Amino acid sequence: MAVRSVFDVGAMTREFENAGIDTHFIASIWHVIQNPTNPSLDGVPSLPSKVYELLRSKFTPLTSSLTSVAESMDLSTTKLLIRLQNGASVETVIMRYDTRLGKYDGQPRPGGQRSTLCVSSQVGCKMGCKFCATGSMGFKSNLSSGEIVEQLVHASRFSRIRNVVFMGMGEPLNNYSAVVKAIQVMTGYPFQLSPKRITVSTVGIIHAINKLQDDLPNVNLAVSLHAPSQEIRTQIMPAGRAFPIEKLMDALLAYQKKSEQSIFIEYIMLDGVNDQEQHAHQLGKLLQVLKVVINLIPFNPIGGLSSYKSSTEENVISFQKILRGMYNIRTTIRQQMGQDISGACGQLVVNLSEQRSVGSASLLSDIEDICI
């Protein structure tokens, strides 16, 4: 049987309780292991001898390893290729920003330099979205909670991570239990990320959305809507047939009533498909009953995997103006990052041999950490 990651909180808690060991030792173990200077089980001080014996026999500091690192030409984005214990690989992306370079309501934003980590929750994805490279892989396997947390551990050795977005490979809510446990670890000691700085993205798994607020209060919800109608949505997102827009809207209304939080709406701009003025009006009417922030995402090329083209800048701006001006919906345009290393939205697919290039990161204006 394969050894487990010490960051697999379920397995650690279960084994400690079975052995009659106080589980409060777990957080102190994580504190030492996540430190890059001493990632050794034997380096954890002041543990009872039977804890060391248990750790050596059933756990390892990291079950995954860093295979390669790719830096974007502007050094704002770092993509990590991580090899899992089963031989499969996933990608995770670090995006660097300076919030002071952006504006909110026309005013300079407070803050400073920080990094957002885009993590994967599955190897491949079964949703099959036609504009997404990961969807072309099909579904391979779920990541354990430990493998999800290990992405944060690897990334933290390159940059101090302030925000985490579950927008990498896979559909997070199709791996619900592992994602919930991973976030509970990330928000606890020693990582101590604020739940308000963690965003879970979904195509709209309704039964999971219905319980998300109870399991992960204060965590942000993002919905990959990408279309203003069920007809267009099923055309570009086959999984949309299982989650009709009408039922999805009902679930989002119930979620928002309970959470009292705004919801991120992700909308990829596809030339001639969903980017016309009538689509903007349809979207505005659909979403005006909710408190949302719409993020318009220029389509990123994925080679021969898709025939779609990105909307013109003129269409994107016009779309934004309609939503803002006529429906009073806060609407942003996502800044492109990491295209040159296939690390941008929709481009994650394990098929590249990448080389590491190390340098100081330049800083871009903030897009992911929208205050809602």
CA–CA gap between residue 71 and residue 342 (Å, rounded): 10
CA–CA gap between residue 86 and residue 152 (Å, rounded): 19
Strand, coil or helix: what is 123? strand
CA–CA gap between residue 294 and residue 52 (Å, rounded): 49
Strand, coil or helix: what is 116? strand
Amino acid at 268: I
Closest CA to 231 of 221, 241, 220, 223: 241
Q: Is 91 a catalytic residue?
A: yes
Catalytic residue among 15, 71, 91, 147, which? 91
Catalytic residue among 150, 266, 345, 368, which? 345
CA–CA gap between residue 345 and residue 334 (Å, rounded): 10
DSSP 31-86: HHHTSTT---GGG--S--HHHHHHHHHHEES-S-EEEEEEE-TTSSEEEEEEE-TT
Q: Is 345 a catalytic residue?
A: yes
CA–CA gap between residue 93 and residue 244 (Å, rounded): 31
Q: Which residues are catalytic?
A: 91, 345
